[in-house]
Structure 1
């Protein structure tokens, strides 16, 4: 089986003298000048863009090819990140616009009804509310049109230094305030640089070589100075006594491989990339290394004894443990209360939840199975929910971060991670396993995800047993499969099951008892505007449903 790999980044704080700090500042300024020019070159029409050789000749060759590769990789990452965020914003706007259009249609019907039979004051309030919704819809549609036009024109409006700091300039009037702003603007635009490595280079990166130091557990960094700065700062900058709080095993393995390669050419070196970033406290060094195996244990945990199925949701991870035959053993819930939290708090909450998930998987010695989804697909699954609190949860949803952290932890801890097709897992879970095992919708979906890893086919039950508001037990039969493929038949099942699931005339199993166990009832309780069940009828129907031979 192929060994999965993941690029991990570890950081440390640099303890520099004044000359070294000045050298890194000059290096960052020169590097970022090339970066800005290269980005401007890429924004031109394709026919007018310069290739790498033409561009470096025009710039006067300030860097070697390997240093310029860091510039190209940095710009490529920025552009890809902006385009991904733009696509996510388009998905979010599309969801919001569809929901608001539905709300407007309901409001218009209500306005017409109140205009005929209601009071003038109520009609006026509804018209004002309708106008506000229409203004919001036009504003969202304008944003959507602007983003679509920007995407079609292949534009990437990136502000180096940050839009927030740029906008501060408009409120400044005095000369001293403007000079202070210019200093902060310059520092924000020239505070980092990236040096990429390769496995065939000395010590994994020819421009920044990380090697063992005389002090145990420490390293020394030899940084090659660009030609323009050598007259001032010399050929190299030597930074000693580097220590990493995290990732010690991964960095030690990479340095050992690069050291062994110098004596044995058959050993493949380990590429190392270095990002230098300056903040208020000074310079930080971020080292990226490719990890191809568990760093916390000797062997991988596979799927021989079973798997852990995981369904990622807005506010929790639904987890089900399965044996090798696809039978559920136990289920867990790891909460993700991400709304009303800032970025740092969300990162901590996600980290704790993923850590608990991996602890559970390691304790049971079983692999983990998740959906093979991206952020846009996951967000579309929730677009039908229309509630302010749900919208805030969706806005705080960090599916990409959750998925990435699960992948990282699986490699570090040696727990195999598998991805499966997520099509119709929620439908099959609700239809087949929710009532049988007393699971929630999400735990039932996690069970289907785990079973799908082993290739089990999900057949619908021969009949679904339910009870209506009058206490009559009913049976519904799924459509015949005929010669349809798996996913074609699942789509047919979905069209049959969704109206049945939302009908009050058919309350099956788990949904029925959740309905029964509501906090309060009146004699004429209403759910979704329809007549409900009285307390006496609830008790009677519960007895009937429990005693039915098919349950």
Structure 2
């Protein structure tokens, strides 16, 4: 046990800090789509130029340079469009820097792993804590060449980070690389170009509290009318006063529509984004706003009535209800999902599984305990070697998406989410709970046992079950129980309570009340264990 890392204490996951809802811009005319494309292309070119200027400035960029960039963009669009562009540029540059740091750390971890395995003799078996040497000389040679490649990449990435250089592609690197693999992506050049132009458009505007309907640039009225403040070069396309263009489409938000209506009616800030789905030939409007932080429920209050332990797997969620003492109650439930197909299908599957889990927790008024998983450092081939199927398995688990969805959906239902350290939950759950929970009528899986382990850790109980008593009643023969009540437990030295009624055929009701009280039975030697020894005085007649 000395080699195990320290397990982090469970904690209550804070709720979401923002909301985003989406609806379709239906019944757009050809003129509406033309105006949207023109505005998006113009603002997209300005955003690309601003991103180039931001990347050139590097880490030394300051508020004065930011103001200068905004002044340049204001003359070619408007002050509010310029503010939205510069803010989006800064966020994209900061995201690229965080990704660069994560890639740098991944390269360092891979180099350390390969270097250690190269130093081990070929064919030496590994342990549970560390991998052994490579199997053959050919594999050792191939890994030595890969080590040189990773070291070269590390030097390049480290130099870029020190110089403040980042690689950013507006529209996405994946879509950019798809241009060289059109047959594999089942795309034509014209189809790819259409997706590329749609991905590089910029049609988003930040909200501003106090302004009419919470946004002056892209305005949506409570009745669903959508209007856009045109940039200066496109003012001649306006069909409404003050350089605005009103779309013929009317929108309505089916999800959180009442919350959105309350905000726009009170003129509170709402940010909007308009984008085109070229695959479906549709336009969508996304509204988003921030939420004030909600006071989280204390951990002790969240687990006062017990909770539901959930084990995350590649194709299902295994859940089991536990009482406040850590005992499994009822039968385990399994919420499956299929992660094949399109991204929309996978997202729908995850949401469907989560809502069934949350409805179950809502009916019983319980919190949900889940592992605080992060597989970013666990999917590399240096970590697991030839175990490609295992790498694909953990790479396919929707950890980040599931976690974000669960927190957001639980906040709407008023359910508390408790995150626990995932260390050894599957292994210890199978070791201590798999066999005891399996009966003739119920087949318990390892994932169900892991859910019990997760729930017990969230409740503050050890995962290990209570150790069985000795084979006989006399502890002198087999030793004391390995799990005893702590010294501060009241009544730990007291008598075990007797249950009224006959317990055996030979003992009648009411008899044997002092069976565990050795002093009451006047057994020889018993009082001497707790009373000081004192020799009787000799009689005077002797």
Q: Tell me which interval the TM-score lies in, with the shorter structure as reference length.
A: 0.5 to 0.7
Aligned-partner Cα distance in 2 for 1:359–1:411: 13
Q: CA 1:407 to 1:278, structure 2 compared with 1: closer, same or farther past 3 Å?
A: same
Is structure 2 residue 285 aligned with structure 1 residue 285? yes
| Alpha-carbon contact 1:309-1:320 (below 8 Å) kept | yes
Is structure 2 residue 58 aligned with structure 1 residue 52? no
1:393 matched to which residue of 2?
A: 393
Is structure 2 residue 167 aligned with structure 1 residue 157? yes
1:253 to 251, 255, 259: 259
Deviation at 1:88, TM superposition (A): 5.2
Aligned-partner Cα distance in 2 for 1:63–1:204: 20
2:85 matched to which residue of 1?
A: 71
Is structure 2 residue 358 aligned with structure 1 residue 358? yes
Is structure 2 residue 226 aligned with structure 1 residue 221? yes
Q: CA 1:388 to 1:272, structure 2 compared with 1: closer, same or farther past 3 Å?
A: same
2:493 matched to which residue of 1?
A: none
| Alpha-carbon contact 2:217-2:228 (below 8 Å) kept | yes
Aligned-partner Cα distance in 2 for 1:171–1:90: 28
Question: For structure 2, which runs of at least 5 residues remain unmatched after alignment?
Answer: 1-11, 126-134, 183-188, 295-300, 439-443, 470-477, 487-542
Aligned-partner Cα distance in 1 for 2:309–2:178: 49
Aligned 1:125-140 pairs, distance under 5 A = 126-140=136-150
Deviation at 1:158, TM superposition (A): 1.0
Say how many residue pairs are matched: 432
2:221 aligned counterpart, secondary structure:
strand
| Alpha-carbon contact 1:309-1:369 (below 8 Å) kept | yes
Aligned 1:186-335 pairs, distance under 5 A = 187-188=197-198, 190-213=200-223, 219-234=224-239, 235-244=243-252, 248-259=254-265, 261=266, 269-280=267-278, 281-290=281-290, 305-329=305-329, 330-335=331-336
1:522 matched to which residue of 2?
A: none
| Alpha-carbon contact 2:26-2:249 (below 8 Å) kept | no
1:546 matched to which residue of 2?
A: none
Q: CA 1:377 to 1:168, structure 2 compared with 1: closer, same or farther past 3 Å?
A: closer
Greater RCO, 1 or 2 (C-alpha within 8 Å, sep 6+): 2
Aligned-partner Cα distance in 2 for 1:137–1:387: 19
1:37 to 49, 52, 55: 49
Deviation at 1:91, TM superposition (A): 6.1
2:8 matched to which residue of 1?
A: none
| Alpha-carbon contact 2:322-2:455 (below 8 Å) kept | yes
1:198 aligned counterpart, secondary structure:
coil
Deviation at 1:270, TM superposition (A): 4.1
Aligned-partner Cα distance in 2 for 1:314–1:146: 35
Deviation at 1:285, TM superposition (A): 1.7
2:256 aligned counterpart, secondary structure:
helix
Aligned-partner Cα distance in 2 for 1:326–1:140: 47
| Alpha-carbon contact 2:272-2:288 (below 8 Å) kept | yes
CA-to-partner distance for each residue in 1:348-388, whole Å, 9 max, x for gaps?
443343233234324444222223455547769x9568622
Judge which range, 17-26 or 415-424, deviates more.
415-424
User: Relative to total residues, which structure has the larger helix share, 1 or 2?
Assistant: 1
Aligned-partner Cα distance in 1 for 2:449–2:181: 55
Aligned 1:180-191 pairs, distance under 5 A = 187-188=197-198, 190-191=200-201
Deviation at 1:199, TM superposition (A): 3.5
| Alpha-carbon contact 1:169-1:181 (below 8 Å) kept | no
Question: For structure 1, which runs of at least 5 residues remain unmatched after alignment?
Answer: 112-124, 173-178, 214-218, 262-268, 295-300, 466-473, 483-551
Q: CA 1:434 to 1:272, structure 2 compared with 1: closer, same or farther past 3 Å?
A: same
1:62 matched to which residue of 2?
A: 76
CA-to-partner distance for each residue in 1:371-408, whole Å, 9 max, x for gaps?
3455547769x956862210111232331111011112
Q: CA 1:409 to 1:386, structure 2 compared with 1: closer, same or farther past 3 Å?
A: farther
2:462 matched to which residue of 1?
A: 458
Q: CA 1:198 to 1:424, structure 2 compared with 1: closer, same or farther past 3 Å?
A: farther
CA-to-partner distance for each residue in 1:210-247, whole Å, 9 max, x for gaps?
2233xxxxx11122222332233251121244344xx5
| Alpha-carbon contact 2:70-2:83 (below 8 Å) kept | no
Is structure 2 residue 375 aligned with structure 1 residue 367? no
- RMSD of aligned Cα (Å): 4.7
Aligned 1:446-485 pairs, distance under 5 A = 446-454=451-459, 456-458=460-462
| Alpha-carbon contact 1:463-1:476 (below 8 Å) kept | no
| Alpha-carbon contact 1:306-1:324 (below 8 Å) kept | yes
Aligned-partner Cα distance in 2 for 1:240–1:149: 52
| Alpha-carbon contact 1:14-1:242 (below 8 Å) kept | yes
